[in-house]
Amino acid sequence: MIAQDTRKGIVLMVATTLVFAVQDGISRYLAGEYNVVMIVTIRYWFFAAFAIAMAGRMAGSLRQAAVTRMPVMQALRGVLLAAEICVMVAAFVVLGLVESHAIFAAYPLLIAALSGPVLGERVGWRRWIAIAIGFVGILVILRPGFAVFSPAAVIPLISATMFALYGLLTRYVARTDSAATSFFWTGTVGAIAITPFGLWAWQPMAAPDWAWMMALCVFGALGHWLLIRAYEVAEASAVQPFAYLQLVFAASFGVLIFQEDLALNVIIGSAIVVSAGLFTLWRERRRA
């Protein structure tokens, strides 16, 4: 058993968020030049190979990693995550990294709100208040009634909802399946599901962009490895709050590299959403 080290876990989680933010920046660039589904498909081929290798190592053998008592739920998770990544990358292109991540930050609140009907968990009044406050933050970001509402703002919200459902299904299958099994099914099913669409949408890619594509695949695998290591050495409840740093890193890349605007309403709304999310994480840790 790996010794628990919360400080090391926090460092690993911060590194994870930085790597994933870099991955998002590369995704934004490539998806702006080529078909989104093609980019995600190539990324998934690499991720599937990584997931198979890691799952086999975690479970002791590939056969053990593949065994599940919930094949339908595991397959649904894999398809849902692949579709969610496509939606989020599309949001990066049409809305930018800053606003996309600001809205996507609501996904822990969606998990808290849906954990009752989906998992049968009890959601107390304090968490309901935090959820309501978080969605006030989303409204501050979207500014309905103060400006022409951009339909593109709905895209990262759809992505956040899909990711929340994926997270809830992950909790559900964890009742019978190991993390290695879930990781194996996430990578393999996602790759199988998206490949026909990626091949149909295939476009020639310039040689320099293949270098960026390879970097995207490497950063994706590195990010997942760091995340696994973070959860190995520290409790999830201790390191999860630091996952919000991905919003900070991604927004920084959006402003510095892609010349995106950092509007005051986005800053205020993001602060409200993150504060509400941190409170729900704290309540969950208290209950645990």
pLDDT digit string (tens) for 40-80? 999 999 999 999 999 999 888 989 999 999 999 999 999 99
Average pLDDT of the residues in 165-177? 90
Residue 2 confidence (pLDDT) above 60: no
* Contact indicator for 91, 163 with CB cutoff of 8 Å: no
User: CA 3, 8, 14, 17: dihedral to nearest 10 degrees?
Assistant: -30
Average pLDDT of the residues in 17-22? 94
User: Residues with Cβ < 8 Å from 46, sequence gap 6 or more?
Assistant: 217, 218, 220, 221
User: What's the rounded Cα separation, in Å, for the pair 278 and 73?
Assistant: 29
User: What's the rounded Cα separation, in Å, for the pair 152 and 210?
Assistant: 28
In b/e form, how buried is each residue of 221-249, taking b as 16+ CB within 10 angstroms?
Answer: bbbbebbbbbbbbbeeebbbbbbbbbbeb
User: What's the rounded Cα separation, in Å, for the pair 228 and 232?
Assistant: 6
**pTM of the full structure:** 0.88
User: Residues with Cβ < 8 Å from 58, sequence gap 6 or more?
Assistant: 65, 178, 179, 180, 183
pLDDT in tens, 126-152: 777 877 888 888 877 776 554 445 678
pLDDT in tens, 254-282: 999 999 888 888 888 888 888 887 887 77
User: What's the rounded Cα separation, in Å, for the pair 237 and 282?
Assistant: 8
User: What's the rounded Cα separation, in Å, for the pair 55 and 71?
Assistant: 16
Cα–Cα separations (whole angstroms), residue 131 to 11, 66, 136, 137 = 28, 36, 9, 10
Residue 286 confidence (pLDDT) above 80: no
